[in-house]
């Protein structure tokens, strides 16, 4: 993709960079663009690295992986991570080698040990780290689930200050929740293809909060209420966005459990836009959720297609579904897991996985969506691979509805003037 075309797309959503006069609502301070906290993952198992890095990415934490002690310690000269996930036994070294190197470098961040070894050995290694003056967390025993990683990151307050915690039911009852929209770009035609609605909480004291502040610990019933709120909000917002002359194909996140608990057909019938130009709604469900009950997913999807609602399989590649199962899954979009999109321009393994998933999506008559695009090189790489849609910070960050409306109106005026 030529740079000029990329800049045309970026200027669409970054008017202040292009000198255009567009009045946007100010963002809360804790939603301003800033450097993401950084983590190092030191483990010689690619599967473990992928699991941890995928979880970190969803929490807004950037991560680099290393397979050896020397590479991790050397990297400290150029980047300083807030936390290091450290496996005890590596192929050509071990955690004690890393600990000594961290001490020599004067590392002041957190060290999170992890291993499948016995608990006593883990505790001994932790004590070695403590004697070297390092901030050692209680060891993490393999195998572990993503929730364990999330708890570690949350308790570490990697954003630089304690994360506010809000009860989800309270947020819903007080109408604090709203959707922020991240544009999705048609990479083939370099046009605005749609937007994903991402939930935010506008708290009267804490300001704008991300899902990590109100989703952990929420009950299944609360998640169902949230899903209903998100769907209704997206359908209602569409009418406002359409008044700007653009008929966006919007998407929102959900879970199979929440969808099964809701009377979705009645909900869609009551709140769907009446315009015949409404392109429908996309419900994004993670691959790991879908494969738990393919039959239920098929039933829900088949019924909702009657009402213009389709599905996207999110984070594809993380759960490694078999082709036999994939054949049974009804979906309109296949979203590449961001851990594979990251560095796909330079990492041959990631590039190969991305290209395979893109071809797989096309084989099943679906669109391939690369999310988590953060730099020009990766954007150009997925474009060359034939990816249909791109989404990520390199194109546009999520924005409040009022900001998106302001941009759409400005573009409509420019179109009329020309």
* Burial class of residue 11 in the structure, from the number of CB atoms within 10 Å of its CB (0-12 exposed, 13-18 middle, 19+ buried): middle
Tokens coding 51: 């699991």
State how far the Cα of 318 lies from the Cα of 336, in Å rounded to an integer.
9
Residue among 125, 100, 98, 107 at smallest CA distance from 41: 98
Domains of the chain: 3-22+165-417 (3.20.20.450), 38-156 (3.40.50.2300)
Residue among 318, 403, 380 at smallest CA distance from 190: 380
Tokens coding 353: 């996985």
* More confident call, 128 vs 18: 128
State how far the Cα of 356 lies from the Cα of 74, in Å rounded to an integer.
33
pLDDT of residue 280: 95
Sign of the four-CA dihedral 397, 245, 185, 229:
positive
Tokens coding 254: 């959900």
pLDDT of residue 189: 87
State how far the Cα of 362 lies from the Cα of 158, in Å rounded to an integer.
39
* More confident call, 411 vs 35: 411
pLDDT of residue 6: 63
Residue 114 DSSP SS3: strand
Mean pLDDT of 223-243: 94
Query: Tens digit of pLDDT for each residue in 8-56?
Result: 666 666 654 444 444 555 554 444 334 468 899 999 888 888 889 988 8
pTM for this one?
Answer: 0.68
* More confident call, 209 vs 169: 169
Mean pLDDT of 115-139: 85
State how far the Cα of 82 lies from the Cα of 61, in Å rounded to an integer.
10
Tokens coding 416: 């009329």
Give the distance from CA 75 to its chain's centroid. Answer: 26
* More confident call, 414 vs 148: 148
Residue among 394, 31, 405, 383 at smallest CA distance from 189: 383
For 62, the enclosing helix (H) or strand (E) is strand 62-66
* 317 Rama sector, left if φ>0, alpha if ψ -120 to 50, beta otherwise: left
State how far the Cα of 173 lies from the Cα of 417, in Å rounded to an integer.
44
- Pair 255, 315: CB distance under 8 Å: no
Query: Tens digit of pLDDT for each residue in 52-93?
Result: 998 888 887 889 998 888 888 888 877 788 899 999 888 777
Query: Tens digit of pLDDT for each residue in 343-382?
Result: 899 989 889 999 999 999 999 899 999 999 988 999 999 9
Asked if pLDDT for residue 162 goes beyond 80, the answer is no
Task: State the chain's mean pLDDT as an integer.
Answer: 84
Phi, psi dihedrals of residue 316, rounded to the nearest 5°: -70, 135
**What residue has token string 């966005």?**
241
pLDDT of residue 150: 87
Mean pLDDT of 336-342: 88
pLDDT of residue 413: 73
Mean pLDDT of 104-127: 84
Greatest mean pLDDT among 72-81, 104-113, 240-249: 240-249
The DSSP output letter for 94 is B
> CA 359 → CA 167, 291, 367, distances in Å?
42, 20, 10
Q: First-to-last CA distance in the chain?
A: 26
Q: Kindly indicate the confidence band of residue 233, based on its pLDDT and cuts at 50, 70 and 90.
A: very high
pLDDT of residue 329: 73
Tokens coding 48: 């473990």
Asked if pLDDT for residue 231 goes beyond 90, the answer is yes
**Preceding amide of 143 cis, omega within 30:** yes
Query: Tens digit of pLDDT for each residue in 265-305?
Result: 999 999 999 999 999 999 998 887 777 778 888 888 889 99
pLDDT of residue 60: 79
Tokens coding 164: 């506010």
**What residue has token string 């709203």?**
178
State how far the Cα of 351 lies from the Cα of 336, in Å rounded to an integer.
11
């Amino acid at each position: 993709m030529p740079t000029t075309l990329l800049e045309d797309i970026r200027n669409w959503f970054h008017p202040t960079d292009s000198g255009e006069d567009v009045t946007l609502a100010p963002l809360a301070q804790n939603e301003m663009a800033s450097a993401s906290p950084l983590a190092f993952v030191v483990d010689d198992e690619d599967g473990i690295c992928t699991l941890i890095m995928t979880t970190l990415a969803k929490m807004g934490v950037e991560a680099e992986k290393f397979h050896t002690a020397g590479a991790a310690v050397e990297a400290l000269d150029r980047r300083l991570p807030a936390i290091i996930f450290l496996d005890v036994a590596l192929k050509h070294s071990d955690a004690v080698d890393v600990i000594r190197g961290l001490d020599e470098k004067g590392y002041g961040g957190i060290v999170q040990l992890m291993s499948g070894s016995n608990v006593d050995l883990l505790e001994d290694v932790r004590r070695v780290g403590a004697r070297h003056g390092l901030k050692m967390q209680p060891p993490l025993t393999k195998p572990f689930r993503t929730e364990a990683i999330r708890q570690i990151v949350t308790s570490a307050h990697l954003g630089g200050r304690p994360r506010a915690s809000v009860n989800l039911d309270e947020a819903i009852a007080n109408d604090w929740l709203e959707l922020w929209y991240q544009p999705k770009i048609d990479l083939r035609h370099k046009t605005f293809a749609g937007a994903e609605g991402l939930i935010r909480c506008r708290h009267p004291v804490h300001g704008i909060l991300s899902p990590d502040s109100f989703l952990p610990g929420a009950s299944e019933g609360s998640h169902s209420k949230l899903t209903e709120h998100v769907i209704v909000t997206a359908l209602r917002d569409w009418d406002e966005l359409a008044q700007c002359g653009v008929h966006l194909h919007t998407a929102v996140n959900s879970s199979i459990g929440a969808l099964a608990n809701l009377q979705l057909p009645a909900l869609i019938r009551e709140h769907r836009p009446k315009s015949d130009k409404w392109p429908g709604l996309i419900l994004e469900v993670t691959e790991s959720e879908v494969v738990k009950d393919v039959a239920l997913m098929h039933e829900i999807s088949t019924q909702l297609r009657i009402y213009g609602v389709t599905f996207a399989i999110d984070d594809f590649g993380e759960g490694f579904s078999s082709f036999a199962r994939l054949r049974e899954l009804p979906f309109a979009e296949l979203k590449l897991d961001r851990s594979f999109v990251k560095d796909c321009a330079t990492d041959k393994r990631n590039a190969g996985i991305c290209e395979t998933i893109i071809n797989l999506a096309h084989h099943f008559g679906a669109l391939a969506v690369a999310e988590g695009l953060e730099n020009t090189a990766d954007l150009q790489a997925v474009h060359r691979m034939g990816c249909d849609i791109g989404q990520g910070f390199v194109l546009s960050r999520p924005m409040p509805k009022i900001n998106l409306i302001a941009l759409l109106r400005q573009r409509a005026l420019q179109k009329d003037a020309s």
